[in-house]
Amino acid sequence: MNLRELSSLLGLSQTTVSRALNGYKDVSEATRARVLAAAKAHEYRPNTRAQALATGRSRAIGHVIPKISTHAMVNPIFADFIAGAGETYSQAGYEMLISVVDVDDEARAYRSIKARGLVDGLIVSAPRMNDPRIELLDEIGLPYAVHGRATGTERPYSWLDVNNRRAFSRAAEFLLDLGHRRIALINGHEEMDFAHRRRQGLEMALAARGLAPDPALMRQDEMTEGYGYRAAREMLAMPDPPTAFLVSSVICMLGVRRAVEEIGLTLGREVSAITHDDQLSYLRDDGPVPAFTATRSSVREAGQRLARMVLERIDAPDAPHRHELLEAELIIGRSTGPAPS
């Protein structure tokens, strides 16, 4: 069933039917009701491709996944973020387009996406410091919103971020209050903006107490369980081991717990640890008292809100840029306790 069929069936012009369906003013309520009823009865849906061609808007938002190499890691938060964004899109009548793109081909991919008219806007994820994509997208003229921030970028852009610095400084303060002095950081890659900020948060908290950060207690890598395990294992074997860990992801945290327990210690007793918890649905740590003390912020909700933000930019490309800074909640679980004396 297409518009022509529907309108000839109703004895009306395509114009009138189209305007009736799209809520225009100049069609009588009586015919509008007739049109709506007929459309429903025949399950008419406008062909999106034709609509897009006619309006110049595709009602789709793109998410680009940079592919580093064949064996590159997929970001574990990806699924929950997508789920959140997808909910917003479907409510707004938008589709979500995912492009897997070679990382050294990214610029060309963005230009191509624009030229082919695939999407009305983009989500930029995992920004690095001085991320070139922001300037690129401005130049191309494609509305976008960034999940995170890009330290070093001067130009204004719309973003949504967790207050990573504050989250990790609060977590560090909490550990310092418990008497911990040697606090290790098991971080993600620090060219990632979020990781950079988390380290700053820890260092700020240390500085406020007159403590100097110890480079030997800071690690950065891809955030796998094995990395968390190895990092914790190695640091705990040092002559002057840390008594507490700040960990950048629950997945790493699982490895940290394993390392701690393997040498006969217990989290929350001899060793404390706080993780950042994105509330990934398959790793949720609920229950009356959560296992892990954590700085918690739902990445799914971030997806929802960021989706809304990019839709706003599409509707009003010249509006001033908006920023949302989500404060992570500090959830006290069983993985922290007073520093051993």
Q: Which residues bind DNA (CB under 7 A)?
A: 2-4, 11-16, 18-19, 21-22, 26-31, 44-47, 50-51, 53-56
Work out what residue 26 binds among DNA, a copy of itself, none; the CB cut-off runs from 5 to 8 Å by kind.
Answer: DNA
Stretch that binds a copy of itself, among 5-13, 27-35, 57-65, 322-330 (CB under 8 A): 57-65
Are 315 and 121 spatial neighbours (Cβ–Cβ below 8 Å)? no
Stretch 214-243: interaction string toward a copy of itself, x if CB under 8 A = --------xxxxx-----------------
Q: Is 236 exposed, middle or buried (0-12, 13-18, 19+ CB in 10 A)?
A: buried
Instruction: Using DSSP bridges, classify how beta strands 293-296 and 272-277 pair: parallel, antiparallel or unpaired.
Output: parallel
Q: Is 82 exposed, middle or buried (0-12, 13-18, 19+ CB in 10 A)?
A: buried
Binding of a copy of itself by 83 (CB under 8 A):
yes
Instruction: Using DSSP bridges, classify how beta strands 329-331 and 293-296 pair: parallel, antiparallel or unpaired.
Output: antiparallel
Binding of a copy of itself by 100 (CB under 8 A):
yes
Q: Copy the structure tokens of residue 187.
A: 């971080």
Which C-beta is closer to DNA: that of 16 or that of 335? 16
Binding of a copy of itself by 293 (CB under 8 A):
no
Binding of a copy of itself by 116 (CB under 8 A):
yes
**Closest approach of Cβ 222 to a copy of itself, in Å?**
8
What are φ and ψ of residue 121, in 5° steps? -165, 170
Work out what residue 189 binds among a copy of itself, DNA, none; the CB cut-off runs from 5 to 8 Å by kind.
Answer: none
Binding of a copy of itself by 67 (CB under 8 A):
yes
Binding of a copy of itself by 106 (CB under 8 A):
no
CA atoms of 293 and 218, how far apart (whole Å): 20
**Closest approach of Cβ 58 to DNA, in Å?**
12
Among 71, 154, 239, 318, binds a copy of itself (CB under 8 A): 71
Are 134 and 74 spatial neighbours (Cβ–Cβ below 8 Å)? no
Which C-beta is closer to a copy of itself: that of 225 or that of 270? 225
**What are the angstrom distances between the C-alpha of 22 and each of 16, 56, 150, 254, 310?**
10, 16, 40, 52, 23
Among 96, 107, 211, 326, binds a copy of itself (CB under 8 A): 96
Residues numbered 247 to 286 that lie near a copy of itself (CB under 8 A) are: 251, 254, 257-258, 261-262, 280-286
Question: Torsion angle, CA of 244/250/252/256, rounded to 10 degrees?
Answer: 40
Work out what residue 281 binds among DNA, a copy of itself, none; the CB cut-off runs from 5 to 8 Å by kind.
Answer: a copy of itself
Beta partners for 93?
none
Q: Considering only CA atoms, which of 128, 24, 129, 123 is closest in space to residue 68?
A: 128
Binding of a copy of itself by 111 (CB under 8 A):
yes
Are 136 and 109 spatial neighbours (Cβ–Cβ below 8 Å)? no
Binding of a copy of itself by 80 (CB under 8 A):
yes
Residues binding a copy of itself: number (CB under 8 A) = 63
Instruction: Using DSSP bridges, classify how beta strands 121-124 and 159-162 pair: parallel, antiparallel or unpaired.
Output: unpaired
CA atoms of 137 and 119, how far apart (whole Å): 13
**Closest approach of Cβ 120 to DNA, in Å?**
14
Q: Return residues touching a copy of itself (CB under 8 A).
A: 1, 43-50, 52-53, 58, 60, 65, 67, 71-76, 78-80, 82-83, 86-87, 89-90, 95-101, 111-112, 115-118, 222-226, 251, 254, 257-258, 261-262, 280-287, 300
